[in-house]
Amino acid sequence: MPAILLSMSRGDSSRVTPYGTGLRRRADIIDQASKHFARYGYHGASLREIASRTGVSHAGLRYHFSTKEELLMEVLARRERFGSELVALDELPEEPTTEQAWLLVERFVDLMKMSFSQPGFIELFITQAVFAAHEDHPAHEFFQRRYRTMRAEYTQGLSAIKAAGLLKPGVEPEFAATALIGFLDGLQIQWLLEKKGVDYMEVSRRFMRALVADEHLDQIDDFFAA
Q: What is the pTM of this model?
A: 0.73
116 versus 93: which is more confidently predicted?
Answer: 116
Domain ranges of the chain: 12-66, 74-225
Dmax (CA) of the chain: 66
CATH of domain 12-66: 1.10.10.60
Question: Which residues lie below 8 Å from residue 90, measured CB to CB, with a gap of 6+?
Answer: none
In angstroms, the CA 27 to CA 34 distance is 11
pLDDT tens for residues 174-222? 999 999 999 999 999 999 899 889 999 999 999 999 999 999 999 999 9
Question: Which residues lie below 8 Å from residue 183, measured CB to CB, with a gap of 6+?
Answer: 207
State percent of the chain over pLDDT 70. Answer: 87
The answer on pLDDT for 89 being more than 70 is no
pLDDT (average), residues 68-89: 77
**Amino acid at the residue 46:** S
**Architecture, CATH, for domain 74-225:** Orthogonal Bundle (1.10)
In angstroms, the CA 220 to CA 203 distance is 13
Does an H or E element contain 172, and which?
A: none
pLDDT tens for residues 55-64? 999 999 999 9
